[in-house]
Structure 1
Amino acid sequence: MIKKRKYKFTSLLFAFGILVVLAIGLFIERNGINYTSKQSSYYLNVSQVKTKSEALSAIPVNNLVIFNSSNETSASAINNFKQLFEDMKVSTAYVDVATETIPDFTSYKSVVVLTPDIEPLGVKAIELMDWVEAGGNVMFAMTIQKDNMSSIIEHKLGVVTSAYEYALVNKVHIKDGFMLGGGKDYKIDEAFESAWGVELDSSAHVHMTTADDNKTPLIWDYQLGSGRVVVDNFGIYVKAMRGFYSASYSLLDDVGVYPVINSAAFTLDDFPSPVPNGDGKYIKHDYHMNISEFYTNVWWPNMISLSEKYGIKYTGVVIENYENDTSGKIKRQSDSSRFTYFGNMLLQMGGEIGYHGYNHQPFSLSNVDYGDAFEYHTWPNTKAIGNSLNELIRFTNSLFPTEEKSVYVPPSNILSVEARDFIVKKYPQIKVIASSYFSKTFEYEQEFAVANDGMIEEPRISSGTIIDDYIKLTMVSELNMHYVSHHFVHPDDPLDVDRGAKLGWDRMFENLSKQMDWLYKAAPNIRNQTESQMGGAIQRFSSITVTKEVTDAAFTFKLGNFVDEAYLMVRINKGEIGKVSGGELEHLTGNLYLLHATNNTVTIQRK
């Protein structure tokens, strides 16, 4: 019998195998998970896209806005309402009662009174209400001032009695079924006595009140003869309230309809990037980790869990380094392990990579003086800016060579006019600029739009983990105005006391999670998109127009500049709906629906 030989190094082979497994694990950790691209471009061809003003120019004017440039409140609100109706694709004529004669109402389907002082309208105010009674539609968009003329017409607004005093609006209650996010109370920043004290006819339909014992009516509609009256009585006309006015306007007529974007995007600013600078004392206290370990073992797993729970597609915008050199001299990033690790995982989750900066210095030339607002440096010329962008593009292409990268987020939302023009002319691969919906010092303020030069403007409307009352109100408004959510989170939020670091990351993440929970309960089927996909949605939103035909048998919507699909908010104010052709209706809340149009003509049968 031949005996089997016993090898003394068998245990060494076992140990070697363990080392190989560990090495593979370390390689994966350092380089991220391999990914296959899951994204296909949603952009339209340039020839298929129109700006909102170009699209509106082809639509007959059917709405009249009456304002008063000599009234401070009216004058300050007019531009905001012009933007509102442009976004709703309501072709509108504007008449200034301080300098112009009010035209015949019979040329229009709706009239919006954008002045609190009714007396300058004179006898036209009485003619207006007679026109409504005969079948017209009017919206009083500003808190009405009690005077002789308003006293004459107030009963035709559904008002039984009225006072000269105004009620405090420090919290509002949106009736369930009126707006997305309804059935809840929302606080108002810088509240004041802005609501006309009224008692309404029992037949008036009240959609929003003050959230106090008085329940002062803030939005209502009233059937006047064959026409309809809508009154907005909350007296706040800022950009953050547009969705309340779009919802109010949709109460007019048997059906209200306007285009929306239908998109929820979530951006991870400065991600991937080198380890953020900042005071990590709260992280060390709570987690006994350094900053790098915290991001790998706590922050990023939390963000993954949020994505998995709600289907969020993150857009990460890259910062190559945090140096302050703006001379145009380039120092390449030597350590790419963090970038590939986090970036590949983000891509595997269905996200995308965009551009933020070679460093975190905003693109402003030497003609900009930041003063005490920022410690940023300016750039000497566009050549230096170009050098930094070229390096950022080279760096991200070396890390993620198969991915289309088309989104640029300006550091701190700061972007000079000169730098923006330079980017548009020299970098056609950048199709989207994502900055801010609300202007602060030096910030580049945007609307959801396609600019005249073709750049897609894609503002964020909320950010961070301190979800204050203003952010909550804005998110409600934008769900109803554009059916959109666009939120930014910075990885270094837990390092910055001004952004919540003292609360601790657990509390910060809890705040963020609660707001995302609110969002997806209010709009459970909103499309989760990357920023480039939102860009394509904005192109379609910018181009589309809608004209409606209302008969006893059906509502018919004809869509101009239709390419492949469009989304529209539809409010059925009268009657029941039957068969839909040319698209699909999704019930949102109350009598509010989302229409997904798949044809340039959509018909909704009436029961």
Structure 2
Amino acid sequence: MKQPMKLNTRIYSIIIFIILLAFVMYLTQTQYFQQFSHSQQNEDLTKNWKTEAASASSVSPQSGPSYCLAYDSNDEFSTKVNMQASRTLGYMKKEVSITDLSKKKLKPSGCAAVILTVRDLSSVGNLDDLASYADQGGHIFLTSMPEQNDAFYRLYRKLGILNAGNYKDEAGVHLRDEVLIGESGLHIDDRFIMNTVMQVELDSSVHVNAETSAGTPLMWSIPSGKGSIMVFNGTMLQEKINRGLIAGAISMMVPDFIYPVFNSKVVYIDDWPAPYGNSIDEAIYKTYKLNRHGFFNEIWWPDMLKIAKRYNVKYTAVLIESYQNRVTPPFDSPSDSDPNGLIGYGREIIKSGGEIGLHGYNHQSLTMDQGTSAAFDYQPWNSVDDMTHSIQEAVSYAKQGFPEYTMFSYVPPSNVLSPEGREALKAGWKNLSVIASLFPEDATGISYVQEYELAKDGIMEMPRVTSGYEATPFVHWAAASVLTANGIFSHFVHPDDVLDSERNKNMNWENMYKTYSEMISGLNERYPWLRAQTSMEAAVDMKNMLTSRISVQQDNSSIKGSVTPLEDESYFILRTRKKVGNLSGCSADKIGDGIFLITVREAEFTIHLSEA
């Protein structure tokens, strides 16, 4: 009978070492451990932001012919539209030349395109020069409904108008073309979209790109000699949330138009993790027989993770330590804090590829203004020092749960942040790198409204665009508009929307889960090219794009570009009616009708084009 083979101690040791090494290698490949390693990398990166920001321009324009904007500084409407067009072209990194028509006349010769934001065409100057510019191959975009005066009637046939009637206020928009990327055929029949439009009869050579819900032509294009003219027959382009129409119109009007985008899909969960306690909510208990803690732990959070996994979402969850309204020290050890919840949920956030950020020590917005605080039934802070101490406590609280993890992103409670509060944040939190508040304009003037930019103190201003668990008409429109102009989807939800019948519109969680799933699923169907990113991941790439120098040279058969410096990859949208041929230093993916996502992987790239 054979004796069993015996392994000596050395062989056992080698086997154990190999097993342990394999286990360590496996761990280092998991998202949980990768996020911790990224923390140190991001700390090093953001230190450089602060030194670069003071001397760097956030949006460095490319070389080439200027896009000529013409407005009237004495006309408030014209000034607003001009600002929206200027911002849009700035993000596109196009060279911009601005003419104030109240001081001098427009000289269109040599312009890459002319964008007129005046309604009174007599202010433009020599209309024959303008018409000649288009006939010789130029492109003109009229961004607002023109006034019917002598100048208009000298030019109206050139605009494709046979007969001009009365003005009328009309709601809604129907996109007959893919003016907004991924949204051909979109019909928003809602009164948040309102335009004063001219009733018109158009020439047969006109191509209508969009109309109101009532069917009045809202945007159209017409050939003009070797060039073209685009007309927007409305008044909505003065609003920030409609910049996508400006981006769409210009990129459809100018042949082979290419511009950089961020290519990010970012979803925030405000107030998570947070101390929600063990209260009984009648509607929740009736359905699930669970208290508040049990519902969030056993139902809501697992469902949110399912959606993230199914639809490729990375959550950036911003924590609250306490819901007490204390605004004076001491701030340590609030009685309602939930360190176990922070650790438990925090691990799952990180494990799923997400990010933990800060919402605040509590939910009192960082402002000392009594009126602003009262608007939310909050307590105003007494001093910058008090705000600073509260931030220090919240950062310390997070460090106690995750000693090796560094937070970088901040979301202001109720999207309110005063200049004093911003200084307190920096004083109490050395690693603050991203502030994510709101993109849309706020009529009340209370919200911290942002542009996408690297501030002079090295903090990325990275606003959110939409919110909620349902793709309402406004959410759908706003998301599509910003995606077209900037290539970013930035959205946020609140866990406690489930508990508030006014905020959830009397929907239970089952219905909210359904509408949220449909919203993210629909987004993925229309924009499958978007990259799921955390707040900090998006900020790193955004900073690189905003501060890079982009140069583009074009002719009828090619686009040659450079990105300096190129960090990893850069992304561009190309609109063209030509066939995309050989590529160098980049790839091209068709994402719409004549629309391509260009992924640049080398500092210099070439796109060859031929007639389709």
Q: TM-score range by the shorter chain?
A: 0.7 to 0.9
Distance 1:463 1:64 in 2: 35
Distance 1:52 1:88 in 2: 17
Q: Which structure has more RCO (C-alpha within 8 Å, separation ≥ 6)?
A: 1
Deviations 1:25-81 (A, max 9, x none): xxxxxxxx9943346356574266698845436746611111123334213333333
Aligned to 2:160: 158
Aligned to 1:91: 95
Distance 1:85 1:524 in 2: 25
The one-letter code of the counterpart of 2:120 is D
Deviation at residue 441 of structure 1 after TM alignment: 4.6
For the structure 1 residues 350 and 190, does the alpha-carbon distance in structure 2 shift closer, same or farther, using more than 3 Å as the test?
closer
Contact 1:271 1:319 in 2 (8 A): yes
Match of 1:583 among 563, 569, 586: 586
Q: SS of 1:36's equivalent?
A: helix
Aligned to 1:261: 262
Give the CA RMSD over aligned residues: 2.5
Summarize the alignment of residues 62-81 of structure 1 with structure 2, pairs less than 5 Å apart: 62-81=66-85
Aligned to 1:142: 144
Aligned to 2:181: 179
Match of 1:113 among 89, 113, 116: 116
Match of 1:498 among 484, 498, 502: 502
For the structure 1 residues 586 and 52, does the alpha-carbon distance in structure 2 shift closer, same or farther, using more than 3 Å as the test?
farther
Aligned to 1:3: none
For the structure 1 residues 418 and 96, does the alpha-carbon distance in structure 2 shift closer, same or farther, using more than 3 Å as the test?
same
- Greater shift, 217-226 or 76-85, is seen at 76-85
Contact 2:392 2:429 in 1 (8 A): no
Q: SS of 2:450's equivalent?
A: coil
For the structure 1 residues 319 and 174, does the alpha-carbon distance in structure 2 shift closer, same or farther, using more than 3 Å as the test?
farther
Contact 2:53 2:455 in 1 (8 A): no
- Greater shift, 340-349 or 542-551, is seen at 542-551
- Greater shift, 271-280 or 562-571, is seen at 271-280
TM-score (normalised: structure 1): 0.88
Deviation at residue 506 of structure 1 after TM alignment: 1.7
Aligned to 1:271: 272
Deviation at residue 265 of structure 1 after TM alignment: 0.6
Q: Which runs of 5+ in 1 are unaligned?
A: 1-32
Deviation at residue 404 of structure 1 after TM alignment: 2.8
Distance 1:276 1:495 in 2: 13
Contact 2:454 2:543 in 1 (8 A): yes
Contact 1:37 1:347 in 2 (8 A): no
Contact 1:494 1:501 in 2 (8 A): no
Contact 2:319 2:358 in 1 (8 A): yes
Determine whether 1:540 maps to 2:537.
no
Deviations 1:174-233 (A, max 9, x none): 425862222221234345452222333333333222344xx3322222221111212222
Match of 1:341 among 340, 344, 347: 344
For the structure 1 residues 85 and 65, does the alpha-carbon distance in structure 2 shift closer, same or farther, using more than 3 Å as the test?
same
Determine whether 1:487 maps to 2:491.
yes
For the structure 1 residues 50 and 511, does the alpha-carbon distance in structure 2 shift closer, same or farther, using more than 3 Å as the test?
farther
Aligned to 2:7: none
Match of 2:202 among 173, 186, 200: 200
- Greater shift, 541-550 or 113-122, is seen at 541-550
For the structure 1 residues 173 and 552, does the alpha-carbon distance in structure 2 shift closer, same or farther, using more than 3 Å as the test?
closer
Distance 1:279 1:160 in 2: 67
Aligned to 2:316: 315
Summarize the alignment of residues 18-417 of structure 1 with structure 2, pairs less than 5 Å apart: 35-38=32-35, 40=38, 41=41, 45-46=48-49, 53=57, 55-56=59-60, 59=63, 62-98=66-102, 100-122=103-125, 124-166=126-168, 168-176=170-178, 179-192=181-194, 194-212=196-214, 215-237=215-237, 238-275=239-276, 280-332=281-333, 335-365=338-368, 367-370=369-372, 372-417=374-419
Deviation at residue 560 of structure 1 after TM alignment: 4.3
Match of 1:510 among 507, 514, 531: 514
The one-letter code of the counterpart of 2:153 is S
Deviation at residue 171 of structure 1 after TM alignment: 3.5
Q: State the identity as a percent.
A: 25
Distance 2:478 2:279 in 1: 30
Contact 1:583 1:596 in 2 (8 A): yes
- Greater shift, 253-262 or 460-469, is seen at 460-469
Contact 1:218 1:233 in 2 (8 A): yes
Deviations 1:457-505 (A, max 9, x none): 0111111224432222101101101111111111111112231162212
The one-letter code of the counterpart of 1:227 is G
Contact 2:180 2:481 in 1 (8 A): no
The one-letter code of the counterpart of 1:373 is A
Distance 1:476 1:51 in 2: 33
TM-score (normalised: structure 2): 0.87
Distance 2:280 2:141 in 1: 53
Q: SS of 1:342's equivalent?
A: helix
For the structure 1 residues 59 and 551, does the alpha-carbon distance in structure 2 shift closer, same or farther, using more than 3 Å as the test?
closer
Distance 1:51 1:467 in 2: 41
Aligned to 2:475: 471
- Greater shift, 159-168 or 493-502, is seen at 159-168
Aligned to 1:29: none
Determine whether 1:593 maps to 2:596.
yes
Contact 1:259 1:544 in 2 (8 A): no
For the structure 1 residues 54 and 478, does the alpha-carbon distance in structure 2 shift closer, same or farther, using more than 3 Å as the test?
closer
The one-letter code of the counterpart of 1:596 is T
Deviation at residue 371 of structure 1 after TM alignment: 6.3
Distance 2:192 2:393 in 1: 45
Deviation at residue 97 of structure 1 after TM alignment: 1.6
Distance 2:127 2:560 in 1: 32
The one-letter code of the counterpart of 1:250 is S
Distance 1:390 1:552 in 2: 58
The one-letter code of the counterpart of 1:36 is F
Deviation at residue 537 of structure 1 after TM alignment: 2.1
Contact 1:268 1:489 in 2 (8 A): yes
Deviation at residue 335 of structure 1 after TM alignment: 4.1
For the structure 1 residues 138 and 600, does the alpha-carbon distance in structure 2 shift closer, same or farther, using more than 3 Å as the test?
farther
Distance 1:192 1:456 in 2: 33
Deviation at residue 82 of structure 1 after TM alignment: 2.6
For the structure 1 residues 490 and 52, does the alpha-carbon distance in structure 2 shift closer, same or farther, using more than 3 Å as the test?
farther
Contact 1:220 1:231 in 2 (8 A): yes
Aligned to 1:28: none
